[in-house]
């Protein structure tokens, strides 16, 4: 399950046993230079009225990162002006209570880093592929110039932005955002789908309804993948819309071996989209559906946030830096399974301090189904398998409490909003 635009610290700053902070650092003007000073983070509501999305493209990442000092978040510009104190926040834990309940009972990773220091387009590619290199010297980064969609359905003339091996940021200098336009990678820009298909392992990508003329086409990472977009898998059920169809698949015994689950924008935790705390409830409703089904004893639910969203986090990405603009900032990962290790928390929650990347999730899937390797960050990242103990007795499921049930989401009117504005 892929949620949107939050650092680890934004949701879990004060979670017991995890690395978080309610203070941070910023750079303030001092004479001809800057002075580093401490700042107290604001405790805020999940929905941020008056200032929705924050800047979180690659240049903003570099500003915030500040060579590992993690003190330049206030200097990121939004609309031509510094964002100032805005990134320095964390959400009141009571407003993300289902996430805390999951972490308290099951697994929480506090050292998961997104693959690149960028935003949702790049991150969603990394979550199906583990990297975005399109030739020997360049990788995709940030969003395409299209205002309509992420991939093959983009406006004619749309271009991608690239990062070179020398870390040059090449804005709108890349190819059209469709894999059959990538140099040296016609039908060869492989994703986890290729390995799953080659090994006859079933999969689905649950996503809001795709409408070519509407911006919600931006939700589908596989719109970039020409063999999927122009092949039978686009219409034969592999691309499953609406995303709530996962509930019927669970009830009817039709859940595939591997699923990606993309939320409607209003349930995604994306700043400026949610009118309430429906994001945590959406995740809880799917977790509860699995937990109360025959799938429980054989399923792992992995919840991850795609990118940092422009918010402060105190932990610098691990070294060494790579030539794809990564690793990016820290995001949270929750793992729900009867085989998650029992931790020291009062409810058995296990907090992993192992350094992971998005390739860690891919590696776990590859190993689970003996798929082989894509050869991206699935090679360099450590698998999340160490969060599991397959020798223990399967743990019983306890439902996650939330304000909204699956019936709410089955009857909710789709928002039609895109995944991100950058």
Which DSSP letter does residue 133 get? B
CA distances from 294 to 176, 205, 254, 288 (A): 44, 21, 11, 12
Question: What is the spatial distance between Cα 88 and Cα 79, in angstroms, rounded to a whole number?
Answer: 18
Start-to-end CA distance of the chain, whole Å, equals: 20
Query: Given this model, what pLDDT does residue 347 score?
Result: 87
Q: What are phi and psi of 125, to 5 degrees?
A: -65, -40
Regarding the domain delimited by 2-20+92-132+186-411, which CATH topology (the fold level of the hierarchy) does it fall under? Alkaline Phosphatase, subunit A (3.40.720)
Question: What is the spatial distance between Cα 312 and Cα 90, in angstroms, rounded to a whole number?
Answer: 8
Which tens digits make up the pLDDT trace of 257-306?
999 999 998 999 988 776 678 999 999 999 999 999 999 999 999 999 99
Query: Given this model, what pLDDT does residue 214 score?
Result: 58
Would you tell me how many other CB atoms lie within 10 Å of the CB of residue 228?
25
Query: Given this model, what pLDDT does residue 294 score?
Result: 97
Query: Given this model, what pLDDT does residue 187 score?
Result: 58
331 in Cβ contact with 114 (< 8 Å)? yes
Query: Given this model, what pLDDT does residue 51 score?
Result: 58
Q: Which residues contact 421 (CB under 8 A, 6 or more apart)?
A: 53
Would you tell me how many other CB atoms lie within 10 Å of the CB of residue 271?
21
191 in Cβ contact with 227 (< 8 Å)? no
Would you tell me how many other CB atoms lie within 10 Å of the CB of residue 21?
15
**Opening angle at CA 65, ends 59 and 67, nearest 5:** 105
Q: Partners of 37 in the beta sheet?
A: 26
Please report, for the chain, the start and end positions of each structural domain, with discontinuous segments joined by +: 2-20+92-132+186-411
* Burial class, 401, CB count within 10 angstroms (exposed 0-12 / middle 13-18 / buried 19+): exposed
Closest-CA residue to 315 (of 334, 338, 294, 332) = 332
Low-confidence ranges of the chain (pLDDT < 50): none
The model carries a pTM of 0.96
Query: Given this model, what pLDDT does residue 274 score?
Result: 60
Query: Given this model, what pLDDT does residue 218 score?
Result: 65
Share of the chain above pLDDT 70, in %: 94
Query: Given this model, what pLDDT does residue 420 score?
Result: 62
Q: What is the residue-wise DSSP string for 71-94?
A: --GGG-EETTEE-TTTT-EEE-GG
Looking up tokens 């639910």 gives: 301
């Amino acid at each position: 399950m892929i949620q949107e635009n939050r650092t680890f610290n934004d949701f879990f700053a004060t979670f017991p046993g995890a690395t978080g902070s309610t203070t941070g650092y910023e750079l303030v003007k001092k004479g001809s230079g800057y002075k580093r000073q401490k700042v107290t983070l604001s405790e805020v509501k999940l929905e941020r009225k008056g200032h929705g999305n924050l800047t979180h493209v690659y240049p903003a990442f570099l500003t915030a990162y500040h060579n590992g000092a993690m003190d330049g978040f206030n200097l990121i510009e939004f609309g031509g002006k510094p964002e100032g104190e805005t990134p320095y926040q964390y959400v009141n834990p009571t407003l993300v209570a289902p996430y805390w309940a999951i972490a308290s009972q099951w697994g929480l990773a506090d050292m998961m880093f997104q693959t690149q220091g960028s935003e949702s387009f790049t991150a969603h590619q990394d979550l199906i592929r583990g990297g975005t290199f399109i030739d020997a010297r360049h990788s995709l980064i940030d969003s395409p110039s299209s205002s309509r969609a992420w991939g093959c359905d983009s406006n004619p003339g749309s271009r991608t932005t690239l990062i070179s091996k020398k870390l040059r940021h090449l804005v709108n200098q890349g190819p059209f955002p469709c894999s059959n336009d990538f140099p040296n990678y016609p039908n060869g820009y492989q994703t986890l789908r290729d390995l799953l298909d080659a090994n006859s392992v079933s999969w689905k990508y649950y996503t809001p309804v795709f409408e070519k003329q509407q911006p919600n086409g931006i939700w589908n990472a596989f719109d970039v993948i020409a063999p999927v977009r122009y092949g039978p898998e686009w219409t034969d059920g592999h691309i499953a819309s609406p995303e709530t169809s996962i509930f019927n698949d669970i009830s009817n015994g039709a859940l595939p071996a591997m699923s990606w689950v993309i939320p409607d924008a209003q349930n995604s935790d994306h700043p400026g989209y949610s009118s309430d705390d429906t994001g945590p409830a959406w995740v809880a409703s799917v977790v509860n559906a699995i937990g109360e089904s025959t799938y429980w004893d054989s399923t792992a639910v992995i919840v991850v946030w795609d990118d940092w969203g422009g918010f402060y986090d105190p932990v610098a990405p691990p070294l060494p830096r790579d030539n794809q603009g990564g690793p990016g900032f820290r995001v949270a990962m929750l793992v729900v399974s009867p085989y998650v290790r029992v931790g020291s928390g009062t409810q058995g929650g296990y907090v992993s301090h192992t350094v992971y990347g998005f390739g860690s999730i891919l590696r776990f899937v590859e190993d689970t189904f003996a798929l082989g390797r894509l050869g991206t960050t699935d090679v360099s990242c450590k698998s999340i398998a160490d969060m599991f103990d397959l020798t223990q007795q399967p743990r019983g499921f306890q439902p996650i409490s939330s304000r909204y049930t699956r019936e709410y989401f089955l009857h909710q009117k789709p928002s039609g909003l895109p995944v991100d504005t950058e």
